[in-house]
Chain A
């Protein structure tokens, strides 16, 4: 791990000097991690590739602002990829901010039924959600963001964020039930 950190430091120095080889090494080092993150917010693989290419150009352009004392390269890169993904979604749709939710009962989802699905099937279900609902669900359920953080990131109210999460849960419950009944 120590060796890896020293190697990453050398790679980052090369990236700061705009060395293409160092940039390629960093990209390939982070590819799986970055692609995994981009896939959660994208509609398909092509969309994920588009997000990734834009995100890495942004990473290399702003690599001099990365401070190793404040966090790891992984958390910094992840943040940039998420921002790029949300920008992609925002370019397609406008986040409505007039949606409020009253206290409603949580939809019950059978964990055993969910467990029978593989990762690709679950990802397909999430990708079929409306873009804004999709983004809020991933930010909340997968990335662990709070509604306050989501509202600040997407420029919406906390109530709207909660509404999207509730909509995502209901839609997923229906899809999982329908898959298990087939």
Chain B
């Protein structure tokens, strides 16, 4: 009784060869859960956990991504922003690239002596150079090469810049005008001077 027998040694030896269940992950999940309850103040909160600095980085990244998504959403919902960005440079280039000459409209209205002879239109009184400009204004503009680089999207061709007039929504009941609400005295006695 005081010493293990040979068969007991054999049993001990065999038990070391016992196949083990593959429960490592499940048991660790239980251990981790219990540790988070009993010892929560660790430098990390789990195998894939985040420490304080990572929380800051994650938060900053989240805010940045949210801001980008909101910006694109607003830009998509409100195409006026994109349109104005596309239209403005094109108009600006066109005005800049025109030849540095006085405006033809002004010259037509104000001839050299300030008088328009009878029987002649205002254009006929302009100088020959100006008359040439008036005859072929489009050709000259088209001849400027940088204009060819302007994007030729459908928006640029069809949509005029800021020409949309907002219509005011009618208020009140149909058939009743503002005049109907105006208070007018039934008799003119109230506005009659006292001394009459």
- Chain A residues packing against B (C-beta within 8 Å): 17-21, 23-24, 27-28, 31-32, 35-36, 39-40, 45, 48-49, 52-53, 56-57, 60-61, 106, 109, 111, 114-115, 117-120, 122-123, 126, 140-142, 144, 147, 162, 165-166, 169, 172
Contacts and interface: CB of A to CB of B under 8 A. Distances in A.
A60 B7 contact: no
Contact of A52 (B27, B38, B42, B44): B27
Contacts of B12: 141-142
A165 B3 CA distance: 11
A106 B42 contact: no
Given A27-B28, A56-B31, A141 B39 contact: no
Contact of A27 (B11, B19, B31, B43): B31
Contact of B21 (A19, A21, A49): A49
16 contacts: A17-B42, A19-B43, A21-B44, A28-B28, A35-B20, A35-B21, A36-B18, A45-B21, A52-B27, A56-B27, A57-B38, A106-B5, A120-B18, A122-B15, A126-B11, A162-B1
Given A24-B47, A36-B20, A49-B23, 16 more contacts: A18-B43, A23-B35, A24-B32, A27-B31, A40-B18, A57-B31, A57-B34, A57-B35, A109-B7, A111-B6, A115-B10, A122-B15, A126-B15, A140-B4, A142-B15, A166-B1
Q: By DSSP majority rule, is chain A's interface helix, strand, loop, or mixed?
A: helix
A21 B47 contact: yes
Nearest to B24: A31
Contacts of B49: 20
A61 B38 contact: yes
Contacts of A61: 38-39
Contacts of A45: 21, 23
Contacts of B26: 49
Given A118-B14, A165-B1, A166-B1, A53 B42 contact: no
Contacts, number: 113
A123 B18 contact: yes
Contacts of B35: 20, 23, 57, 60
B58 interface: no
A80 B195 CA distance: 117
Contact of A28 (B9, B24, B46): B24
Contacts of B38: 57, 61
B17 interface: yes
B4 A20 contact: no
B45 interface: yes
B31 A53 contact: yes
Contacts of B14: 117-119, 122
B28 A111 contact: no
B8 interface: yes
A103 to B, nearest CB: 8
Contacts of B46: 20
B42 A32 contact: no
